[in-house]
Every structure is written in C-alpha cells, then in structure tokens.
Amino acid sequence: MHARKIALLSLTEWESGDRNIEVVLEHRLAGANLDARDTALTQNLTYGVLRWKGRLDWVLDQYVKGSLRSLPVPIRNALRLGLYQIDYLDRIPPRAAVNESVELAKEFGHKGTAGLVNAVLRNILTSIRPDFPDMRKDPVGHISVVYSHPRVLVERWIARYGTEMTVVFCEYNNEVPRLVARANGLSSTTPALARALKSEGQDTRPGRYFDECLEILTGGDVSRLSCFTAGMMQIQDESTLLAVQLLDPRPGEDIIDMCAAPGGKTTYIAERMLGEGTIKAFEISELRADKLDSNIERLSIGNCSVIRDDAMAAADGPVDGVLVDAPCTGTGTFGRRVDSRWKFDLLARERVRSDIDELKRMHPRQIFARQVGRQLRLLLKAATLVDDGGRIVYSTCSMEPEENEQVVARFLEKRPDFALEDASDFVPPMFVEGGFVRALPHKQAIDGAFAARLVKSGGTPLVMEAEEPADLAMEAEEVG
C-alpha cells in the first residue's frame, strides 16, 4: 500500500473508532513495508490532516453541497488529504494531489464520490476562496478556524489568557513537536549521549531548560538507534521532568507511581534515586504496562516493579512519596497529541467501548467535571498511602484550572492534615506560580504541565471514607 492509502485508512479508523492516532498509525505502518521516505510521508499526511482538520473542514464546507459531515468518512478523508497537500506540501504538485485523492475516492467509494472529490478540489484550486471569520468581529470563530482548534476551547482560553496569548498557544500546538531525549543517568551522561547520537548521524542541541535533555534535530525513527536500544536515553518532553523534580525522590526511599505508563516519569524517579530504594509502578492497562516494562528493562532499572492493577484497589503503604500523574484532558499536549484536541477521550482509551461512546457525546465542561471526580479519588487514595512527613505530587498535562488548582483546593478541604509546599525549592523559578509548578506552551515553548507538592503534616483528616464517583462529578461541575 502507498503512503496516501495508509494515511486514509488510519484517519478513517481513528475517526470511526476509539484508539488514538499514534496506536492506529503504528499498527498500519508495521504491516506496510514502506521505505523511510514513504513512512515519513505517511506520518506527515496523517498528523498534518489532524493538526489542521478544523481549518481544512471549514474550507471544504464552503465547497461541498450540504456539508462535509454528510459524506462517508473515507471520502471526507480523501478530500482532507487532497486539500492538505495543496495547502501545506509544496513539493507535491496540486494536480497530483487532486488525482491521488480521486483515486482514493474510487477505491473507497464509487464513481460518483470520485467525481465529487475531483470537482471540489479543482474548484478550490481555480476559485477565490471565501474569507475566514473576521478577527475583530468574531475572534473565537477566527482563531478556531485559522488555527484549527475547537471553538469551545478557544472560548475558554481567550477568557483566561486573552486573545493574543491564545493565538500564540494555538500556533505552538500547530508546530511539529520537538523530539527531546533525556539521558539515562544510571548508565550514561548527556555529553556521552550526544556523542553516541552524532555517531549514528543524529544532530543534537542542549535542551532548553534541563541538563539531562537533548533535542534531536535530525528526526526519524530513533527507536531503531543503537544508543536507544542500549538504554542510554528515554524520549520525553522537558515538561515531564518537572513533576519528578517536585517529588524529589531520594536514594533508599519507597515510592509509589499510581499511573505509571509509559514510564518517562517512573524511570526518571529511578535515576534520581540512583537505583536505590523501591518504586511500585501501577498500570491498569495491559498494553501500557507492556510498554512500561519494556522501558524499565531497556534502561536497566532494577528497583522498580510494575504492578498490573488499579492503584485505587491494590496500592498500600506507608511510603515516603506518591506520584499521582493523573489522567486528564491533556490540553497542554495538543501539539504532540494532534488528535486529542478533537476527541476528549484520553481518560477512556483503555475503558469499555460504551464508556467511550458516552464520552464522545459530552460537552468539554462535562468531561472536565468527570475528570475531576477521578482525579480527586486518586488523590484521596494517595493520602492513605504516605507516612507522616511524606508527600504526594499531583500532576497533569492539562492547562485547565478545573483539573489543576481546583482539584488541589478540594483535596485540601477534605484532608487538612496535608499542606501545599511551595515548589520554589525544587524546580526553576520560571515554572513556579502561586506555589504550584506550571509550564505554559505559549510562554516556555514546551508542553503544558501542572504539579503540586502536598506534604502530610499529621493530624486528623476531615474525610476518610471513599466518595461516590457521581457525587464527586456533581461537585466538580459546581466548582467548574
């Protein structure tokens, strides 16, 4: 199969199903036997269409009679692929882009749909396109279309950050994400990793904020590099280091990671502990637990055990520290997870299909409320695991206050035996705001992240018993 066909199949499976696009595309490419050039084109087409889907769909809606949504999913994606190549891939002649999309429409539709795709794309090529929504009259509409983000989220961000910063945030999300490696300090150093990468044809430069990190400039599939397979590095954005630095794990301690996969934070905890002490890494998903195991083995970490169970039920203490890297809507990682802006299903990918279908019908505000219920339950469980003087770090890759400081505030109301400890002693000051860790893509140009350090000071908790999920979700919606 050629690159465009694999891209169409991947986009169609993603739009019709419940798996994230990385999993879908990885599966498709595994059986395709493409060379490096065609693999890169497939990835470009797939991720590019999803990154710009809002803008592509708006343009196509101006030319499709009825609406784009009225067409079968494969035909929609044939049109999107054609327009994406016309607007964003200079090396592909427009006529070739049209012809390839028409061929896809023939294969996955019929003569009529092929004619429609041909007519729409040629009309776009030869006509003067309609103007986008006016920025002054309709800033939400303009930003959501031009920068390809859901309108409901643009409304939230404008209210919080202002129009100018929202544009910067959306622009960041539409850039191809940086490829960053953390040197595995248990077996290598950053200079040694840079030399090893150079010997394999990879150019690098230092990370923006942390000595452990290198930005890999050359690209390609780094998982095939010998320095990767030898365990010299872990691929992870610099923002993911912040929660572990806030946890400040020490050699000889006992640590629990309640939501551990794929293991970037877990393995960094092990590095900071110098391989001494114990880490219990919980992961309820078998697929994600397999990836976690693979990373732990590859990085030669000997003090971490993977527990394939729900930490809510299986974790016990007391321990020195708990990391609650909570499932969230992931709004801080929209640049890296290009499909997550269109599907708020990060929390449900490993759950039953009926649950995912229910989530797709929800308004984002309802999803935030549902998330808060789950996040607060995780925190309340973590509170039962730490010894006096121990600490919890609560972290997300969300930029939404409902999932961040509001969750912490609600937790502290229920557990006055815990106190928020200022993050200034643990992370660079540029990432500290109001005592919390906060990374903002439109300010620091890394993925969004939030973290809070909660220390158990002793005393009697206000609420010891578990709460019903429905009660927490209702409560969260009131807070939101």
The answer as to whether 115 is a domain residue is yes
The answer as to whether 221 is a domain residue is yes
The answer as to whether 133 is a domain residue is no
Under DSSP, the state recorded for 225 is S
DSSP, collapsed to helix, strand or coil, labels residue 257 as strand
HSE, side-chain direction, 13 A CA sphere, residue 273: 26
| Beta strand extents in 111-236 (DSSP E only) | 179-183, 204-206, 213-216, 233-235
pLDDT band for position 146 (50/70/90)? very high
Q: What's the pTM value of the predicted model, to 2 decimals? A: 0.85
Q: Are residues 79 and 158 in the same domain?
A: no
Q: Are residues 269 and 390 in the same domain?
A: yes
The per-residue pLDDT for 328 is 86
The answer as to whether 131 is a domain residue is no
Last residue of a domain, one of 233, 258, 278: 233
The per-residue pLDDT for 461 is 61
- The position carrying tokens 């009660």 is 471
Largest Cα–Cα distance in the chain?
74
Q: Are residues 29 and 108 in the same domain?
A: yes
Query: What are the pLDDT digits (tens) for 247-287?
Result: 999 999 999 999 998 899 999 999 999 989 999 999 988 88
Q: Are residues 362 and 423 in the same domain?
A: yes
β-strands 278-282, 418-421 pairing: unpaired
Q: Are residues 255 and 318 in the same domain?
A: yes
Residue 471 pLDDT > 60, yes or no? no
HSE, side-chain direction, 13 A CA sphere, residue 154: 24
pLDDT band for position 426 (50/70/90)? very high
Residue 175 pLDDT > 80, yes or no? yes
Q: Are residues 260 and 337 in the same domain?
A: yes
HSE, side-chain direction, 13 A CA sphere, residue 42: 28
pLDDT band for position 288 (50/70/90)? confident
pLDDT band for position 463 (50/70/90)? low
CA 456-262-53 angle, to 5 degrees, is 110
- The position carrying tokens 């004619």 is 115
The answer as to whether 134 is a domain residue is no
Q: Are residues 408 and 440 in the same domain?
A: yes
Q: Are residues 115 and 166 in the same domain?
A: no
The answer as to whether 187 is a domain residue is yes
The per-residue pLDDT for 459 is 61
Q: What percent of the chain has pLDDT over 90?
A: 70
The answer as to whether 43 is a domain residue is yes
For residue 434 the two structure tokens come to 């109001």
Helices (H) and strands (E) in the chain, counts: 21, 13
The answer as to whether 132 is a domain residue is no
CATH of the domain at 185: 3.30.70.1170
Catalytically active residues are 397
Q: Are residues 352 and 440 in the same domain?
A: yes
Q: Are residues 61 and 146 in the same domain?
A: no
Q: Are residues 284 and 388 in the same domain?
A: yes
**Among the listed residues 128, 102, 129, 124, the one whose alpha carbon sits nearest the alpha carbon of residue 113:** 102
Query: What are the pLDDT digits (tens) for 85-129?
Result: 999 999 999 999 999 999 999 999 999 999 999 999 999 999 999
87: domain range?
Answer: 3-126
Q: Are residues 249 and 101 in the same domain?
A: no
CATH of the domain at 292: 3.40.50.150
One-letter amino acid identity for 126?
T
**Among the listed residues 425, 394, 390, the one whose alpha carbon sits nearest the alpha carbon of residue 412:** 394
Query: What are the pLDDT digits (tens) for 307-366?
Result: 998 888 898 889 999 999 998 888 999 999 899 888 753 333 333 333 434 444 555 555
Is residue 25 within 8 A of residue 356, CB to CB? The reply is no
pLDDT band for position 36 (50/70/90)? confident
> How many folded domains does the chain comprise?
4
CATH of the domain at 34: 1.10.940.10
